[in-house]
Amino acid sequence: MKYTMKLKDISSFLSEDIWRVTKEDVNPLTYRLCNILKVLILTIQRFLRDRIVQRASALTYSTLLSIVPILAILFAIARGFGFANLMEMQIRQGFEGHSLVVETLLGWIDSYLEHAQSGVFIGVGLVMLLWTVLTLTDNIERNFNQIWQVKKPRSVFRKFTDYFSIFLLLPILIVVSGGLSVFMTTTLTKLEQYALMAPLVKIFFRLVPFIFTSLMLIALYIFMPNTKVKLRNALLPGIVAGIAFQFLQYFYINSQIWVANYNAIYGSFAAIPLFLLWTQISWCICLFGAQLTYASQNVETYNFEKDARNISRRYHDFLCILLMSAVCKRFARGEHPYTADELSRMHRIPIRIVNEIIYELQDLELLYPVTEDEKSDTTIYLPAEDTTRLTVREVLKRIDVEGSENFKIDHTGEYSHEWQALARAKEAYYQQSDVLLKEL
């Protein structure tokens, strides 16, 4: 019975009590440990709730469609810079033990590039190639935006410029990685005679792929979502995902028994299910890292989460008035407008509730968001109307009438008494609320 009670207490703490812990309640070390635990809980919860495995399956399908066009573009850029052979060497190393896959893939790429030089392909084919590549990158961005709960994607112009900047840099990064590997191998051979240096260089050489993969994932976590992601929050998730990806790659390359079993079933097609499985697990790792980055940066927004989901109508209206009053007062005094974080800190309201109410007030045309600085992507909020006319009554009325009332209920005839009773009650509710928000 005691163990049952303890398990219930632990479950209650992890599901409710831990989310009510703030900086003022505990010492810094305890608060940091609680935050780490919150990040892990939030990551696992959102990984399961957002159906990341299904998202990874969709990205696997997009990857399969786009892999040849993307590699064709990378090879075309690499040939333009004169290091196509290094690119080919990197691909052969990446698919070591799967020579049939490599030869088939390289054959498709050569065929793709040969047809690209013909007049017919330059028209329709080039458009299809670009569309396929943009579709994959757009799918990746959309999944990252959904993880980060970003409602506004990049503009079409930014998609073209940002995505093709990546494709211009990728061949250079791949060649630098290959060149670094060759350099390290050569250096290791020369240093074998030095008993002390050789083991250290060997360790570093083995760590190079982990470092390179982690750096690429960190860059992906920072760049891909259409929002500001802090480096310190993407650093650890990128390293964790990079290590997991490299171990998966090592297992994929060295699982010869697994490959032999698949060859017995699928014959020459054995590489296809293995590649699909590897791709899906890779995307799962990548998206898990994105979830971990999001949780790390936004863990404080989930404080009082259960309470925020069940907020009462009265308290909701109170917070709407409170935030609108603060914005109007600062505007009337000619001071610098508030950001969402400042409103949260000043009034000790969970940032998630602040963001939800701000979105609602924007929909009601009471608040207007302004991007203060494009580089920092900081959003400040201004009153959307003249502050000499914005009253408590006006805010409450807009909250009440927001939404659809177009239903087949005759509130002017059969149910007119009920409707009028509500109208009189509301009017009495509004009667004493003609106070200007800036004067509260």
Please give the single-letter amino acid code of residue 115: H
Q: Average pLDDT of 367-394?
A: 80
Domains annotated for the chain, with CATH where assigned, are: 2-48 (no CATH), 54-301 (no CATH), 311-403 (1.10.10.10)
Q: What is the mean pLDDT of the chain?
A: 76
Can you say whether the dihedral through the CA atoms of 170, 57, 53, 265 is positive or negative? negative
Q: Name the least confident of 63-77, 237-251, 392-406.
A: 63-77
Check whether 132 has a pLDDT greater than 80. no
Q: Name the least confident of 134-138, 268-272, 387-391.
A: 268-272
Which residue is it, tokens 């013909």?
118
Can you say whether the dihedral through the CA atoms of 263, 264, 267, 269 is positive or negative? negative
Q: Pick the residue with more confidence: 271 or 188?
A: 271
Tens-digit pLDDT profile for residues 107-116: 777 776 666 5
Q: Average pLDDT of 64-89?
A: 71
Q: Alpha-carbon distance 225 to 52, whole Å?
A: 16
Q: Which run of H or E residues covers position 422? A: helix 416-431
What is the DSSP track for 88-128? HHHHHHHTTT-HHHHHHHHHHHHHHHHHHTSHHIIIIIHHH
Q: Average pLDDT of 342-351?
A: 80
Check whether 288 has a pLDDT greater than 90. yes
Please give the single-letter amino acid code of residue 160: F
pTM of the complete model beyond 0.75: no
Can you say whether the dihedral through the CA atoms of 395, 399, 403, 405 is positive or negative? negative
- Coil vs helix vs strand at 258: helix
Contact of 340 with 358, CB cutoff 8 Å: yes
Q: Which run of H or E residues covers position 378? A: strand 378-383
Q: Which residues of 211-244 are buried (b: 16+ CB within 10 A; e: fewer)?
A: ebbbebbbbbbbebbbeebeeebbbbbbbbbbeb
Q: Alpha-carbon distance 277 to 292, whole Å?
A: 23
Token duo for residue 225: 């979502």
Please give the single-letter amino acid code of residue 175: V
